[in-house]
């Protein structure tokens, strides 16, 4: 298995532009997570999906951020319009969540380093 795939790996854009980050989870996993990592705020969960349905988006900073999961093998995180304070590394992770509370490892993608000028 190729693991969690993210694209692009690096993105440099100007303030006000739209940014779309992409993620392909591990085949067979039913949960997908978007995280943001900065020096100041650490590793923050933005949103997570279970069986393609958003379960908790309480970590999404504001309306400029949106996430979709149209099918089990693809998710996007969009920022529109982007601002310099959005500069961070964005990680996607996936896991196999099991009914009854049994918890399994989250596998992280390589991340997308976003710089907004």
C-alpha 52/C-alpha 94 separation (Å) is: 12
- Write down the least CB distance from residue 89 to other proteins, Å: 9
Q: Are 2 and 65 in contact (CB under 8 A)?
A: no
Q: Name the CA dihedral angle for 84, 89, 90, 94, rounded to a multiple of 10 degrees.
A: -170
From CA 63, how far away is CA 104, in angstroms rounded? 31
Measured distance between the N- and C-terminal CA atoms of the chain, rounded to whole angstroms: 36
Number of amino acids touching other proteins (CB under 8 A): 22
When the beta carbons of 19 and 111 are compared against other proteins, the nearer one is 111
Q: Can you tell me which of 111, 112, 114, 116 binds other proteins, judged by CB under 8 A? A: 111
Instruction: Spell out, one character per residue from 50 to 89, where the chain touches other proteins: x when CB under 8 A holds, - when not.
Output: x----xx---------------------------------
Residues lying near other proteins in the complex (CB under 8 A): 33, 42-45, 48, 50, 55-56, 91, 97-101, 103, 105-106, 108-111
């Amino acid at each position: 298995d190729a693991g969690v795939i993210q694209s692009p790996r690096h993105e440099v854009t100007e303030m006000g532009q739209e940014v779309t980050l992409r993620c392909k989870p591990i085949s067979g996993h039913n949960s997908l997570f978007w995280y943001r990592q900065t020096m100041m705020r650490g590793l923050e969960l933005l949103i997570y999906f279970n069986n393609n349905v958003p379960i908790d988006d309480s970590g999404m900073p504001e309306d400029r951020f949106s996430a979709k999961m149209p099918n089990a093998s693809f998710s996007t995180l969009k920022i529109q319009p982007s601002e310099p304070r959005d500069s961070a590394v964005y990680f996607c992770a996936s896991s196999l969540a099991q009914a009854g509370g049994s918890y399994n490892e989250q596998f992280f993608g390589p991340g997308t380093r976003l710089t907004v000028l």
